[in-house]
Structure 1
Amino acid sequence: MNIKMIGSSLIIAGTALGAGMLAIPMVLAQFGLVYGTSLMVLICFGTTYAALLLLEATLKSGGGLGLNSVARETLGKKGQFITNGLLYALLICLLMAYILGAGDLISKLAANLGLTLTAVQSQVLFTVLAGAIVACGTGAVDKLNRLLFLVMLCSLVLTLVFLMPGVSTYNLQQVTNNDHVELIKTSAILFTSFGFMVVIPTLVSYNHEATDKQLRNMVIIGSLIPLVCYLFWLFAVVGNLSPEQFRSFHNVSDLMVAFEARSPWVGSILTTFTGLALLTSFFGVAMALFNQNKDMFNQNTAVTYGISFILPLAGSLLAADKFLAVLNYAGIILVFLAVFVPLAMVHKQRFMKIAEDKYRAEGGNVMLMFSLVFGCFLLISQVI
């Protein structure tokens, strides 16, 4: 893989590594590591295959298109309308969650520097500056994301190195909730934590010179990086904090404060990591929304910038302290958009034998059935 393809894999990984890094310990710690990690691996596998289906649909539609155009090419105008509705609802929910998390961290950082920023000021500042970078184009996001991802991984490794000596075997073995139905209910949040599929059409266009095999590898590598990071992070956090502490957490800064109570500099490194994780996720999702609006409305950069970020910012200002709730809503929408929509696209393309020389996701009809069952499992997890 060349540098550009590696950068694209990091955009995929960075899009996933965001709110999930904060939410996963808060929702899984109570169920113990065995059940929590098993569910996470299953969901990672299901989302990766769904992403490969979307890659297949995008390539067979001609590539270089936004999801709006791919839906029109494969599902017709009605399918395009439904897909666009789901996509906008998902991207706005995700951006709201990232703005809430980033605003919380910025307020805390400003307080440490002796400055006073309200939640509203922090969220507006973050959205305006980060949105401006996205408006500069995919190339700018790619180059900046490589640097941010390198710093983020270094800070994660440092955090894990310093947390490992404090890992308690007793904490790792604790299971305070044996209700497996409650565990399954966390599936939507976990699914959202691997929600990188929205960037695939943009990356296919960005890597227009790449082969189908290179694009496939880009997706798989990009999806495995978050899984590895999540597993190490869950192990370190659960090993260092008691179940009672987890039950008291309500937002991003609560997790930071728990570690800062032990060592201020570990808290600082951790704050850097979580901040960069939120930023890279924001870039990926915002890039998808920006390009979707550009594809759909065909306006100049300034107008597209306003269309893309006003609504998510307004939503975050109205949804204070609803970080996990917003992620949960996003997870429900993502099931339809990231599983059922690509499944419908690919089924129609294969039935009509469209562009059979292009990439075809492995597994045939058996894996298509698995993807259908996987999507139904995620929906059931929200209504049981």
Structure 2
Amino acid sequence: MNTKPSLLGGSCIIASVCVGAGMLGLPSAGAGAWTMWSLLAITLTMIVMTISGWMLLEAFKHFDLKVSFNTVTKNMLGDKVNMLNNIAVYFVGGILLYAYITSSGLILQETLNINSKVASILFVAIFSSFVWHSTRAVDRISVVLIAFMVLSFVFGVSGLTLSVDMSVLFDTINQEAEYAPYALAMFPVALTSFGYHHSVASMRAYYGEERRAKYAIFGGTTIALGLYFLWIICIFGNLPRSDFSPIIEQGGNVDALVSALGSVIESEKVAKAINAFSMAAILSSFIGVGLGVFDFLADLFKFEDCKRGRTKTWFVTFIPPLVLSLLFPFGFVTAIGYAGGIATIWTCIIPALLARKSRTMKSGNEGLVVPGGSFILILVFLFGVFIATFHFLAMSGMLPIFTG
């Protein structure tokens, strides 16, 4: 007797794709906006990113269950748009690997008392080998990492929750402080924290239909939103807004955040749990993103699935971000922001264009159709355009930037 996959299982898969190292960038990115505006920005992003995932399902319904994002975009929007989409996918994957390699080196430098560049090289050499070996090896290590991440998160956050100070959480000491102007710069990092769209095709194939995949996506983004709320409240309730100045000066690097938390948390065990969670989140994201980029480049360059072919793919996947990390370690949040700015192409703009194209096709109004008509398509498209604009305005110093 064949039983249908549970919605809870699918929701957890989507949540695990969302909740990774991007989560570690949210406190530093939201320090200017602080609690209420940060939570509002994350909620708005979650709503739009959930709808844009549904738009992909709406477009995918015209194809068989094993179809890829690449094939659908090429078929419906043409080679030029597909090439732009593929470049954006590769850029985001590469910049995320770069951010994870840099941050892991800085954290391991503190833990192992070795040079951060040596630590980064060791990190890539050891953990990229799982990706080189096989998808099954990635699957097994991911299960271990997620279990470890959940345990360390629960233990660390439970300790932080007990020590939340409401005056710190709502910054009541600074009566004249401004928050809203800084919220715009947070959106690119928030968007990266809901970047599950490369898994939409897999969800559809997993359930064999669009309707249940739609509910699983909503369940997954809701779980992620709940975890982000808990994380933001715990960090902002323990670490005063003014204490983010040295973290921001170091580009929002995770080791700086962990170090700052360690100075305000009385329990050494809780501090170690947060440190362990941070490392597990980075490692889990590194392996997950690494596998995605690895498979993408193997398909792009037509490398064979043998030891020699996989070694070529490993080289083009991991060596460029490692070299960039060694040469230009310019900050975790900055890198995540770049990823969010470019990810708008394949998480908002392309899904809206695909859904619009889908509705002009013969069977466009059959099966799953995202409610809201043309208005919702325009809204998601513009959200992507605005977030990309916010990012590049912030990078050029044209948006208010919080310095502590």
Structure 2, gaps ≥5 residues long: 394-398, 400-404
In structure 2, distance between residues paired with 1:372 and 1:274: 33
In structure 2, distance between residues paired with 1:180 and 1:285: 32
Name the residue aligned to 2:193. Answer: 193
The one-letter code sitting in structure 1 at the alignment partner of 2:121 is V
In structure 2, distance between residues paired with 1:127 and 1:10: 27
Q: Which has the higher helix share?
A: 1
Q: Cα gap change, 1:306/1:354 in structure 2, threshold over 3 Å: closer, same or farther?
A: farther
State whether structure 2 residue 289 is matched by structure 1 residue 285. Answer: yes
The one-letter code sitting in structure 2 at the alignment partner of 1:149 is I
Give SS of 1:222's match.
helix
What is the Cα deviation at residue 146 of structure 1? 3.4
Structure 1, gaps ≥5 residues long: none
8 Å Cα contact 2:340/2:388 also seen in 1: no
What is the Cα deviation at residue 216 of structure 1? 1.9
In structure 1, distance between residues paired with 2:134 and 2:66: 15
What is the Cα deviation at residue 16 of structure 1? 2.4
Name the residue aligned to 2:214. Answer: 216
Give SS of 1:312's match.
helix
State whether structure 2 residue 158 is matched by structure 1 residue 161. Answer: yes
Match of 1:341 among 350, 355, 365: 350
What is the Cα deviation at residue 7 of structure 1? 5.7
8 Å Cα contact 2:29/2:333 also seen in 1: no
In structure 2, distance between residues paired with 1:316 and 1:59: 40
Q: Cα gap change, 1:119/1:235 in structure 2, threshold over 3 Å: closer, same or farther?
A: same
Give SS of 1:29's match.
coil
In structure 1, distance between residues paired with 2:46 and 2:170: 24
In structure 1, distance between residues paired with 2:35 and 2:16: 24
Q: Deviations over 1:100-136 (max 9, x none)?
A: 222222222223xxxx2x2222222222333232345
8 Å Cα contact 2:58/2:358 also seen in 1: no
State whether structure 2 residue 312 is matched by structure 1 residue 315. Answer: no
- Give the 5 Å matches for 1:258-273: 258-261=260-263, 262-273=266-277
The one-letter code sitting in structure 1 at the alignment partner of 2:196 is F
Q: Cα gap change, 1:16/1:244 in structure 2, threshold over 3 Å: closer, same or farther?
A: same
Give SS of 2:32's match.
helix
- Give the 5 Å matches for 1:207-246: 207=206, 210-246=208-244
Q: Cα gap change, 1:15/1:278 in structure 2, threshold over 3 Å: closer, same or farther?
A: farther
Name the residue aligned to 1:300. Answer: 304
State whether structure 2 residue 126 is matched by structure 1 residue 129. Answer: yes
8 Å Cα contact 1:25/1:238 also seen in 2: yes
Q: Cα gap change, 1:29/1:325 in structure 2, threshold over 3 Å: closer, same or farther?
A: closer
The one-letter code sitting in structure 2 at the alignment partner of 1:181 is P
In structure 1, distance between residues paired with 2:141 and 2:364: 35
Worse-superposed segment, 165-174 or 298-307 = 298-307
What is the Cα deviation at residue 84 of structure 1? 1.2
Identity of aligned residues (%): 26
Give SS of 2:24's match.
helix
In structure 1, distance between residues paired with 2:337 and 2:156: 27
Match of 2:84 among 75, 82, 85: 82
Give SS of 2:237's match.
helix
Q: Deviations over 1:55-78 (max 9, x none)?
A: 333443334233332221221111
Q: What is the TM-score with the length of structure 1 in the denominator? A: 0.88
What is the Cα deviation at residue 97 of structure 1? 1.3
Give SS of 1:60's match.
coil
In structure 1, distance between residues paired with 2:258 and 2:268: 10
Name the residue aligned to 2:278. Answer: 274
What is the Cα deviation at residue 354 of structure 1? 5.1
State whether structure 2 residue 176 is matched by structure 1 residue 171. Answer: no
In structure 2, distance between residues paired with 1:297 and 1:69: 16
Match of 1:16 among 15, 18, 21: 18
In structure 2, distance between residues paired with 1:272 and 1:108: 13
In structure 2, distance between residues paired with 1:9 and 1:380: 31
Give SS of 1:351's match.
coil
Q: What is the TM-score with the length of structure 2 in the denominator? A: 0.84
What is the Cα deviation at residue 255 of structure 1? 1.8
Name the residue aligned to 1:145. Answer: 142
The one-letter code sitting in structure 2 at the alignment partner of 1:255 is L
Give SS of 2:106's match.
helix
In structure 1, distance between residues paired with 2:367 and 2:143: 29
Q: Cα gap change, 1:288/1:37 in structure 2, threshold over 3 Å: closer, same or farther?
A: same
In structure 2, distance between residues paired with 1:74 and 1:66: 12
What is the Cα deviation at residue 204 of structure 1? 4.5
8 Å Cα contact 1:197/1:338 also seen in 2: yes
Worse-superposed segment, 81-90 or 210-219 = 210-219
Worse-superposed segment, 140-149 or 315-324 = 140-149
In structure 1, distance between residues paired with 2:139 and 2:167: 42
Moved over 6 A (4+): 1-5
The one-letter code sitting in structure 1 at the alignment partner of 2:350 is V
Q: Deviations over 1:38-94 (max 9, x none)?
A: 111001111111122223334433342333322212211112211111111111111
CA RMSD of aligned residues (A): 2.5
What is the Cα deviation at residue 334 of structure 1? 0.8
8 Å Cα contact 1:60/1:358 also seen in 2: no
Match of 1:26 among 3, 15, 28: 28
Q: Cα gap change, 1:234/1:138 in structure 2, threshold over 3 Å: closer, same or farther?
A: same
8 Å Cα contact 2:146/2:284 also seen in 1: yes
What is the Cα deviation at residue 373 of structure 1? 3.0
In structure 1, distance between residues paired with 2:203 and 2:304: 21
What is the Cα deviation at residue 185 of structure 1? 1.9
In structure 2, distance between residues paired with 1:229 and 1:128: 31
